[in-house]
Amino acid sequence: MGPLDKIDRPSRLALTGVGILTIVGIAATLLTGSGRPAANSATPVGTVTTYVLAIQAGDANRAWAILAQSASQPTAGVPPRPILSKDDFRNQVESSRQPTSPRVRILAVTQSADTATVELEVSHASGDPLTGATTQQVSVSLTRQGGSWQITSDAFPWQFQ
C-alpha cells in the first residue's frame, strides 16, 4: 500500500485541488507578462507601465528618464517641497526595495490633448487572512512633451516597491 492509498478520498481531492491551483497560479502570473500594456512613452499607460516596471526592477536611471523636469519642482500656489535630485531618487529606489513587489493594476485613464491621469490600484501582500492584501489607489499625472508622455506627479518610488 503506497502512502497515497492511506489518504481518504476527500483529502485526495483537496490535494488535487491544491495541485491545480498551484499550476494555474504560476501560469496566470507568467501569462500576465504577455498581456500587459506595452511599455513605451507613446501613450500615458505605456509610460506608467515603463515607470512601474523600472522601479520594480530597481532601474532608477530608466525610471528617472520618464519623470518630467517639473515633477519635483515647486508649483505656483503650492507650498515649496524639497527638490529631488537624481541621486536622491536613486537612493530612494535602492533603499525602499522590498523582497516582494506589489501588484499594480490600471483602474482608469483620463486623457486630453497634452495631459493625462492614470489611476492605479497598488496591492501589497499582507497578513490579513480575509483578503491577503492591502490595497491603495495612486493617481499618476502625465504631460505630453515633444511627442512622448512624461510623469509630472510626485515621484514616490516606494509606492510601487
Partner 1 sequence: MIQRRLYIYIVAAASFGMVLIGLINLGTTALNQLLNATPPYSNVRDAYAGFGAVILVGLPVWGIHWWIAQRLAHRNADERASAIRRLYLYVVLAATGIAIAVYLRRLIEDAVGFVLGTSSDGAAISRALWAVLVLTAFWLYHFRTADVDRSNVGESGVAATLRRWYAYGLLFLGLAFLLFGARNLLQQIWVLLVDRGQVIAPGGLVPTALATMLTGVLIWGFHSQWTSSAPIAQDDQRSTLRAVQRFLTLTGCVALALFGASQLLYYALARLLGIEHPGGVTTSIVVAIASPAATVIVFGLAWLWIQRQLAADAGATEASRQAGVRHLYTHLVAFLALATLAIGAAGILWTLSDQILNSLLHHSTSEWRDKISLFVTLVLVGAPMWFTHWRQSPPLDERHTLSRRLYLYATLLGSVLAALISGAIFVYRLLALVLGTSDAASGAPVIDMGRAMSVILVAAAIGLYHWRVLRSDSAARPAIASVLGVPSPVHGGGQGAGMVVTITGATEEQIRQALSKLPDGANYTIQR
Contacts with partner 1, residue ranges (CB under 8 A): 6-8, 10-11, 13-15, 17-18, 21-22, 24-26, 28-33, 35-37, 48-49, 52-53, 56-58, 97, 99-107, 120-121, 123-125, 129, 131-133, 137, 160
Instruction: Give 8 or 79: the residue with its C-beta nearer to partner 1.
Output: 8
Instruction: Give 22 or 70: the residue with its C-beta nearer to partner 1.
Output: 22
Instruction: Give 31 or 42: the residue with its C-beta nearer to partner 1.
Output: 31
Shortest distance (Å) from residue 28 CB to partner 1: 4
CB 157, CB 96: distance < 8 Å: yes
Q: CB pairs under 8 A, 24+ apart, for 70-79?
A: 70/152, 71/150, 71/151, 71/152, 71/153, 71/154, 71/155, 72/154, 72/155
Q: 101-110: string of b/e by CB count within 10 Å (b at 16+)? A: bbebebeebe
Q: Per DSSP, what are the bridge partners of residue 118?
A: 109, 140
Shortest distance (Å) from residue 111 CB to partner 1: 16
Shortest distance (Å) from residue 74 CB to partner 1: 29
Shortest distance (Å) from residue 135 CB to partner 1: 9
Instruction: Give 32 or 70: the residue with its C-beta nearer to partner 1.
Output: 32
Instruction: Give 42 or 73: the residue with its C-beta nearer to partner 1.
Output: 42
Which triple of cell numbers denotes residue 30?
507568467
Of 43, 60, 55, 31, the closest CA to residue 111 belongs to 43
